[in-house]
Amino acid sequence: MEDLAGYRREIDEIDSQLIPLFERRMDVVREVARFKKVRNMQVLQRDRERVVLDKAVARLRDPGYAAEAERFMNAVMAISRAAQRRDIGGALPREAAPLTGKVGYYGAPGSFSEQALADYFGEDRERTACAEFEDVFTALRDGEIDYGVLPIENSSTGAITRVYDLLGSYGFFIVGERRLRIHQNLVGVAGATLDTVRAVYSHEQGLEQSSRFLAEHPGWEQAVFHSTAESARLVADGGDPAKAAIASERAAALYGLEIIAPAIENSRHNATRFIVIGRALAPAGADKVSLAFSLDNESGTLYNTLRHFADRRINLVKIESRPTPEELWSYRFYLDFEGDVDSDDVRGVLAEISAGAKDFRLLGAYRSDRD
């Protein structure tokens, strides 16, 4: 057999035998799913999968194919786990009604978080300010608020890692998002100018996003404060033209400050993504999904997880990793991807990842806020 067509005919003949065997295997896999469901057993049985892999390699006539045989069987078992997970099922906690009630937000009145809240819920929504990121989570936990609004990433400075860590610690869901174009302004009391300023206060994000402007004034002290709005209030209360804040135009107007230098952010495309968190999923009309998980520190585990998105042609739009405090050099992964949580493809990828990952958690299903 020296021609390509002949090789292809032989492969087709082998495939004609493989597919019926695959179908037969999947029939048995679904019987196993029913067995596990009745007995409330976990889908993933790591010891059993290791036995399957060892047996597959042992059956090879040519041990040079050992690595390929393991990859082949890992793919087969991933498909099997997904089918079992789909059959076993499980209801997702859902918020059926519109998002009503009191909303907490990070920062102070006049903050960008408050602006995101107003854009998402409306200016008239009852709200309460929270001084720290975790205060939003604890207020939601204690029933003081019904939803929370927090920044999670900036287009210039990246992820707000503290918020990711808190998402991993509390059992709440992302139910919405809002993207804001962020214009940072140098603000001060009446009479303050670039010549009078000696110290600038802002949240670390405000300082980072305005670093190029600040580099032009190396003599200024840069002081990190709770939030951009709190910094504006501090400067207003002090009444000192030597002190300025980096804050929003909204905060300047609220606290009676003047804009000394407008739009000092590094990038004219500067934007921050804010998330809305709640106690239950609100997936009606959702086209974006967020999840978190950790993996064994073994070769190929991350690849084998992410390939499920490519296999189902699902667009993965963000991946973030954060160290886990429980284990040295272990990481928790946070993923955002496009899709409807009720679609077969999304349910399939969630089943596949949850079957092979540790500490899997669906973080949210919500409508994306596209620019």
User: What is the DSSP-derived secondary structure letter of residue 94?
Assistant: B
Q: Which two tokens stand for residue 109?
A: 């009145």
Catalytic residue among 157, 228, 272, 305: 272
**Backbone φ and ψ of 181, nearest 5°:** -75, 125
- Known catalytic membership, residue 272: yes
Contact 72, 60 (CB under 8 A): no
- Known catalytic membership, residue 337: no
10 Å Cβ neighbour count for 306? 15
Give DSSP secondary structure letters for 248-290.
-HHHHHHTT-EEEE----S-TT-EEEEEEEESSB--TT--EEE
Contact 184, 264 (CB under 8 A): yes
Distance CA 303, CA 74 (A): 12
Catalytic residue among 225, 274, 309, 333: 274
Return the axis-axis angle of helices 228-238 and 112-121, rounded to nearest 10°. Answer: 120
* 153: β partners: 159, 273
Query: Is the sign of the CA dihedral 290, 292, 298, 304 positive or negative?
Result: negative
Contacts of 354 (CB under 8 A, 6+ apart): 85, 293, 360
Distance CA 270, CA 265 (A): 7
Distance CA 190, CA 290 (A): 45
Residue the block writes with tokens 């035998």: 17
Contacts of 271 (CB under 8 A, 6+ apart): 154, 155, 179, 180, 181, 182, 371
Cα 51 to Cα 35, 47, 57, 151, 259: the distances in Å are: 20, 6, 10, 46, 69
10 Å Cβ neighbour count for 261? 18
Q: Which residues are catalytic?
A: 272, 274
